[in-house]
Structure 1
Amino acid sequence: MRRCALPVLFAVTFPNLFALAAPPATKPIRRPKLILAIAVDQFRYDYTTRFRERYTGGLAAMLSEGAVFIDAHQDHFPTVTATGHATFLTGSVPATSGIIGNEWYDRASGKTISSVEDASTTLVGVEGNKEGSSPHNLVVSTLGDEMKMSHRGTSKVIGISMKDRAAILPSGRMADAAYWLDGESGAVVSSTWYQQQLPAYVRSFNDEKTALKSLGVAWYPLGQEKSGTPFMTLPTAPGKAYMSKWEETPYANDMLEELAERVMHDEHMGQGNGTDLLTISFSANDHLGHAVGPDAPEVEDMSVRTDRVLGKLLAAAVKQAGGRENVLIVLTADHGVSPVPEVNMQRKMPGGRMDKADYLAKVEAALEAKFGEGKWIIATQESGFYFDRDLIAQKKVKESAVEDEAAAAAMKMPYVARTYTRTQLLRHDAMQSQIDEYVARSFYPERGPDVIVIMKPYYLFGKSGTSHGSPYDYDSHVPLLFWGGNVKHVVSTKLVGISDVAPTLAAILQVETPSGNVGHILGDVAAPYLEQRSGSNEAKH
């Protein structure tokens, strides 16, 4: 009996110790039930300002009600689809993610490979034993991966796009599924990395043959359907020719939005105990932009229609999750785009078209003149070179000497701005400017070229259309918008990177930051969520 009195005496004598041991009373933290991470492929930042007066849907809501970052950049090189989508939800850059471009030369296989091709997988959803795609080349985690590990199976993570890499890379290695479109049939497909067959609702969606409903349809400017001239009239027969043109129309984005709604509904996203993540990449803007350039009226019409389709998507997400307070939306672009060179020349702006065969021939000739006959360049990536290392060993010359000679030859061309050799990048030499930093952030030694070449602004390879990939603002400057939940309206002039998105969302969800992260938490977005825990603003960026 005496022993029973001791705890009572202890509690009376030292009451504060028990108070200290008790957990503090805190308000329950309201995390988003559903996150939509949206990328609009090739959507330049200035599309949010040039066409702003015509926006009445999703973009209008995000710009007027959300957190708007007007100086956001894809802070790496090259600015292409794979790198931009990988950075979006890894917070990483090519130097750590391993995704150095849409494709690169693989020395082990002796061929150029795409960022997501995977011979160990097969496509699911089409006939035949076609090679599939997967995130196996991504060597870091995504936000979705961290959610899956932290929430122990209570979170669903799914990625969708027209392009395989745009569906796969943001959603990550542990995603429940990634869906993209077959370029010939328009069917939604996946790969055996995720599943052995498509779920019933995706098979049902495919039975509707939505992509083929636009056969022979004319795309008119909005409001001019009865009196205007169409931008294009689609082919009447299905197949690759039809799909390649359909991909350039708003009808492709419409189909993707329909698929997103179907995925949210049938997967019961936003209705479970954890937070679910749906990554969505609208690709039609990119397909069109390559063909006509950012100044074409088709791009304005496409942008206005994108605003409308985003409005439909946001409304569906709010309904699915039971209210705006349960939804968090982030929107960006994977890259911008250069003006069409001919349009720029009419404006008396610099730039022009380059002949890639002539460019490579001149570098090859310089190497032969210096080191002897042989095919020195065995592959290219963007404007960079991969050298034949067996030939270098046979000629008994230093790799650094070959790199220097090729770089010197490239610098003699009037459209080349600067060069970087593998040896320089390994030593971290000459990193003095923002462009230098972008290149350093993109050098992954096992996959990168031996010489990286940066062209002067507005110079492009190709005989028509336009492209992207440079470190200049017209390619790197992109929108960054957050909307829903606790997000407050703010227009920020801070210089931020798209690598800041993943750590910001991780902080909100209280999960580990993705493994390759180089970004920072955006306090303007995260602070209202974190204040629920501490009652103080501790997330300033």
Structure 2
Amino acid sequence: MRYEYLYRFQDKYGEGGFKRLMGEGFNCKNNNYHYASTVTGPGHAHVYTGSVPAVSGIVGNDWFDKASGKDMYVASDSTVSTVGEGSERAGMMSPNNLKVTTITDQIRLASQFKSKVVGVAIKDRGAILPAGHTGDAYWYDSSTGNWITSTHYRNTLPTWVQAFNDKNVAEDYATKTWETLYPIDTYTESEEDKQPYENRLNGQKEAIFPHTFTVGSIASTPWGNTMTLDIALEALKNESLGQDDITDFLAISFSSPDYVGHAFGPQSKEVQDTYLRLDLEIERLLNTLDAQVGKGAYTLFLSADHAVAEIPAFLKKHDMPAGLFLGGEVTKEANAIISKAYGEGEWILSLKNYEFYLNRALMAEKNITVDQIKNLIAPVLSMQEGIYSVINLESFGNDNIPPFYKEKIQNIYNPKRSGEIMVLVEPGWFHGYGTRGTTHGTMWAYDTHVPLLFFGNGIKHGETVKPTYISDIAPTVSQLLNIQEPSGSVGTPLGEALK
């Protein structure tokens, strides 16, 4: 979610959703990510830990595992299995790769594990990382249409989750057709509907309203948000959250804005409609919390795991700089340059998160350092359109990068999980091959600037334009509750937001 969506679509929001959060809560208008890897896994991890990838170990949605020589997914865990009616692979997930505690873990510790913590999201990582090591997490298996968990948490599904699955909610929603909430010609805050650089849903010939979808593609529609809130409210009711004097925590991650944003881009009618409908879901959430927990008896924050880049073809259409970084081709070129200088070999084992993972065994055999390789390839690669710089992550500091960005880059390097050399793309560029859709993942403002709203018990009404960071969320909640901040926290409590 770009922070600008709070304002760009504001005239069409109702009074009870985003406007209520802004009108009664505290708005951090200049809120950014404090590191350079703006993707889903790290975003969810660091909202709830206040940490950095360098410390938490969550350096991407996936990374190259140096010990095994294989790719590692952020939430994968081969020691656990699916709980519920889901595919075998979908449930082999846990927070095991997260090396620090979360604010949800700290709430459990502070209450001697009497607090209840529940995380829900369509994406497994969007439920697992917020729920921490000690909470409960439930996520959606698109192959079956069911919500599942893993044996990291429990050996059987709670009866209320099974009852929710028995309702076949996803199948019911999949009978609908996605039309715009309001007449499409009133969506003047987004560009015309039919664009050649938007992705198509569910086998449609054109990326144009109306859209049809299936149980497997529901995440790419606003009904993914509706279904997520449905099960979150079931958790609120059936786990009796907020019904005693012990603090509970419900972590809801709405994954559908990400799927829609990837497919259609931030200027699309689909993104606008998704946020107008999400506004109604926020209102439904607040009204339910008012009724079941009590108005003023709960605290809520809203943020995002990253923002998003414009579709390059959209920018080019309007004569603005943009393009695609072809990682595979750059990797081949870099490997060829190194091979010419030091002998044939597989010098680069992988490219993940714009980072080259080097063959350390081969380097040791040839007595070659990371700096030597960086100094060899950087002058060539940096001259290519779309590449801003090539840096040595291991000994970063001497590279000619503006100080504002140096700290963001330093915060992502974890010696066990990060690559040794990083390719920094120019603004408007990202890693991709197709001409449709968009993504995120860079250190530039369009990827890092996200909303941060606090609301409810203990929160002042107001706003600030001073810089705040994702790392500030967890320590602010810790201060509000007078508990220890998470173990890897680097953030600062936002005292001006607290009564």
Task: Using structure 2 for the length normalisation, give the TM-score.
Answer: 0.91
Displacement, 1:409?
A: 3.5
Report the AA paired with residue 423 of structure 1: E
Written as runs of structure 1 = structure 2, the 5 A alignment for 1:418-437 is 418-425=389-396, 432-437=402-407
List per-residue Cα deviations over 1:98-123 (Å, max 9, x = no partner). Answer: 10111100011211111110001111
2:289 is matched with which residue? Answer: 317
Distance across 1 between alignment mates of 2:144 and 2:88: 15
Distance across 2 between alignment mates of 1:293 and 1:443: 29
Distance across 2 between alignment mates of 1:127 and 1:483: 36
Match of 2:9 among 51, 62, 68: 51
Displacement, 1:420?
A: 2.1
Say if 1:217 and 1:233, in contact at 8 Å, map to a contact too.
Answer: no
Displacement, 1:524?
A: 2.0
Q: Considering only CA atoms, is the larger Rg found in Structure 1 or Structure 2?
A: 1
Say if 2:370 and 2:392, in contact at 8 Å, map to a contact too.
Answer: no
Give yes or no for the alignment of 1:263 onto 2:235.
Answer: yes
2:77 is matched with which residue? Answer: 118
Give yes or no for the alignment of 1:459 onto 2:459.
Answer: no
Give yes or no for the alignment of 1:142 onto 2:102.
Answer: yes
List per-residue Cα deviations over 1:25-61 (Å, max 9, x = no partner). Answer: xxxxxxxxxxxxxxxxxx1011011001111132110
What's the secondary structure of 1:325's corresponding residue?
Answer: coil
Written as runs of structure 1 = structure 2, the 5 A alignment for 1:380-459 is 380-425=351-396, 432-459=402-429
1:231 is matched with which residue? Answer: 209
Distance across 1 between alignment mates of 2:9 and 2:375: 46
Distance across 1 between alignment mates of 2:74 and 2:459: 34
Distance across 2 between alignment mates of 1:472 and 1:259: 35
Displacement, 1:357?
A: 2.5
Give yes or no for the alignment of 1:161 onto 2:152.
Answer: no
Report the AA paired with residue 13 of structure 2: Y
Say if 2:327 and 2:351, in contact at 8 Å, map to a contact too.
Answer: no
Displacement, 1:390?
A: 1.9
What's the secondary structure of 1:393's corresponding residue?
Answer: helix
Distance across 2 between alignment mates of 1:314 and 1:281: 15
| Distance change in 2, residues 1:127/1:458 (3 Å) | closer
What's the secondary structure of 1:121's corresponding residue?
Answer: coil
Q: Tell which deviates more after alignment, 277-286 or 486-495.
A: 486-495
Give yes or no for the alignment of 1:284 onto 2:256.
Answer: yes
What's the secondary structure of 2:422's corresponding residue?
Answer: strand
Report the AA paired with residue 12 of structure 2: R
Distance across 2 between alignment mates of 1:366 and 1:232: 50
What's the secondary structure of 2:180's corresponding residue?
Answer: coil
| Distance change in 2, residues 1:95/1:127 (3 Å) | closer
Distance across 1 between alignment mates of 2:292 and 2:379: 58
Say if 1:214 and 1:234, in contact at 8 Å, map to a contact too.
Answer: no
Distance across 2 between alignment mates of 1:442 and 1:207: 42
Match of 1:347 among 307, 318, 321: 318
1:499 is matched with which residue? Answer: 471
2:156 is matched with which residue? Answer: 197
What's the secondary structure of 1:512's corresponding residue?
Answer: coil
| Distance change in 2, residues 1:495/1:233 (3 Å) | same
1:29 is matched with which residue? Answer: none
Q: Tell which deviates more after alignment, 199-208 or 53-62.
A: 53-62
Displacement, 1:196?
A: 0.5
1:91 is matched with which residue? Answer: 50
Say if 1:431 and 1:437, in contact at 8 Å, map to a contact too.
Answer: no
Match of 2:452 among 473, 480, 487: 480
Displacement, 1:233?
A: 3.0
Displacement, 1:128?
A: 5.9
Say if 1:91 and 1:500, in contact at 8 Å, map to a contact too.
Answer: yes
Distance across 2 between alignment mates of 1:125 and 1:405: 52
2:59 is matched with which residue? Answer: 100
Q: Tell which deviates more after alignment, 122-131 or 294-303.
A: 122-131
Say if 1:403 and 1:422, in contact at 8 Å, map to a contact too.
Answer: no
1:298 is matched with which residue? Answer: 270
Identical pairs, percent? 34
Distance across 1 between alignment mates of 2:357 and 2:44: 25
Aligned length: 475
Distance across 1 between alignment mates of 2:295 and 2:375: 57
1:183 is matched with which residue? Answer: 142
Say if 1:218 and 1:231, in contact at 8 Å, map to a contact too.
Answer: no
Question: Which segments of 5 or more consecutive residues in structure 1 lack a partner in the other structure?
Answer: 1-42, 236-241, 529-541
1:334 is matched with which residue? Answer: 305
CA RMSD in angstroms comes to 1.9
What's the secondary structure of 1:379's corresponding residue?
Answer: strand
Report the AA paired with residue 65 of structure 1: E
1:26 is matched with which residue? Answer: none
| Distance change in 2, residues 1:373/1:243 (3 Å) | farther
| Distance change in 2, residues 1:368/1:119 (3 Å) | same
Match of 2:92 among 127, 132, 147: 132
Say if 2:123 and 2:255, in contact at 8 Å, map to a contact too.
Answer: yes
Report the AA paired with residue 231 of structure 1: F
| Distance change in 2, residues 1:430/1:146 (3 Å) | farther
Match of 1:60 among 9, 12, 19: 19
What's the secondary structure of 1:104's corresponding residue?
Answer: strand
Report the AA paired with residue 191 of structure 1: S
2:196 is matched with which residue? Answer: none
Give yes or no for the alignment of 1:173 onto 2:144.
Answer: no
Report the AA paired with residue 135 of structure 1: P
Distance across 2 between alignment mates of 1:324 and 1:122: 40
Say if 1:89 and 1:170, in contact at 8 Å, map to a contact too.
Answer: yes
Give yes or no for the alignment of 1:376 onto 2:322.
Answer: no
| Distance change in 2, residues 1:429/1:139 (3 Å) | farther
Displacement, 1:467?
A: 0.5
Displacement, 1:224?
A: 4.1
Distance across 1 between alignment mates of 2:277 and 2:132: 29
Give yes or no for the alignment of 1:77 onto 2:36.
Answer: yes
Distance across 2 between alignment mates of 1:113 and 1:307: 35
Distance across 2 between alignment mates of 1:152 and 1:101: 32
1:40 is matched with which residue? Answer: none
Report the AA paired with residue 82 of structure 1: G
What's the secondary structure of 1:380's corresponding residue?
Answer: strand
Displacement, 1:395?
A: 2.7
2:201 is matched with which residue? Answer: none
What's the secondary structure of 1:394's corresponding residue?
Answer: helix
Displacement, 1:414?
A: 1.9
Question: Which segments of 5 or more consecutive residues in structure 2 lack a partner in the other structure?
Answer: 188-192, 194-207
1:27 is matched with which residue? Answer: none
Distance across 2 between alignment mates of 1:452 and 1:204: 48
List per-residue Cα deviations over 1:373-408 (Å, max 9, x = no partner). Answer: 111111111221101122222333234322332333
